[in-house]
Chain A
Amino acid sequence: MRTRPIRAGRHHIALHHLREAPGVPLLLLHGLGGSSVDWDVRPEAWPGPVFAMDFPGHGESAWLAGGGYYPELLASDADVALASIGGGFVAGAGVGAWVALLLAGTRPDEAAGALLLPGPGLHGLPTPDVDDAARGSDAALASFEGSRDAPRGTDPMVAMLEKDVRPIDYATAFAARARRVVLTSSPEPAPPWWAAIRSLATVDQTAAAARDAVSLAAAVFRPAELPTDAPRG
Chain B
Amino acid sequence: MSAASLSYPGAAAPERSRWLDSFGLRLRVHEWGDPEATPVVLIHGMFDHARTFDVLAPLLAEHYRVVAMDARGHGDSDWAESYPWIVDVFAIVQLLRSNGRPSHLVGHSKGGGQSVDAAVRAPDDVLRLVDIDGFGPPPEGFRPDGDGVPQRTQPEILGDFFDWRRHASDRRGWRTYPTLDELAKRRRQQNPRLSLEWLRYFTEHGAKETNDGFTWKSDPHTVRGYGPWRPEWIGPGWAPLRVPLLALTGTEPDTWGPIPEEVIEERLAHVAHVERARVDGTGHFVHLEKPVETARVLLDWLGDGR
Chain A residues near B (Cβ < 8 Å): 7-11, 56, 63-73, 75-77, 79-80, 83, 102, 105-107, 127-128, 130-131, 133-134, 136-137, 140-141, 144-145, 148, 157, 160, 163-167, 170, 173-174, 177
Question: Are B82's CB and A141's CB within 8 A?
Answer: no
Chain A contacts for B159, CB-based, 8 A: 106-107
Number of interchain pairs (Cβ within 8 Å)? 137
> How far, in angstroms, from A106 to B87 measured CA to CA in the complex?
26
Question: Are B228's CB and A145's CB within 8 A?
Answer: no
Chain A contacts for B226, CB-based, 8 A: 70, 72-73
- B235-253 contacts to A, CB under 8 A, are 236-237, 239-240
Our pick among A73, A80, A145, A165 for the contact of B23 (Cβ within 8 Å) is A145
- B150-198 contacts to A, CB under 8 A, are 153-155, 158-159, 161-162, 165-166, 168-169
- B58-98 contacts to A, CB under 8 A, are 72, 78-84, 86-87, 89-90, 93-94
Our pick among B72, B124, B158, B228 for the contact of A166 (Cβ within 8 Å) is B228
Best-surrounded residue of B72, B82, B168 (most CB of chain A within 10 A) = B82
- Say which size band chain B's interface belongs to: 35 or more
> How far, in angstroms, from A63 to B81 measured CA to CA in the complex?
9
Chain A contacts for B233, CB-based, 8 A: 127-128
Question: Are A128's CB and B237's CB within 8 A?
Answer: yes
Known: A137-B122, A173-B153, A173-B154. A164 touches B166 (CB 8 A): no
> How far, in angstroms, from A66 to B83 measured CA to CA in the complex?
8
Q: Which residue of A lies closest to B123 (CB)?
A: A136
Question: Are B162's CB and A68's CB within 8 A?
Answer: no
What are the 7 tightest A-B residue pairs by CB atom distance, in nearest-first order?
A: A66-B80, A134-B240, A68-B82, A76-B165, A67-B23, A64-B81, A137-B121
- Is B289 interfacial (CB 8 A cutoff)? no
> How far, in angstroms, from A17 to B240 measured CA to CA in the complex?
48
Can you list, as one digit per residue, whether each of B220-241 has a CB less than 8 Å from chain A (1) or not (0)?
Answer: 0100001111100100110110
> How far, in angstroms, from A177 to B169 measured CA to CA in the complex?
28
Our pick among B79, B155, B169, B239 for the contact of A65 (Cβ within 8 Å) is B79
Chain A contacts for B80, CB-based, 8 A: 64-68
Q: Which residue of B lies closest to A140 (CB)?
A: B90
- Is B120 interfacial (CB 8 A cutoff)? yes
Known: A130-B237, A165-B227, A174-B155. A11 touches B162 (CB 8 A): no
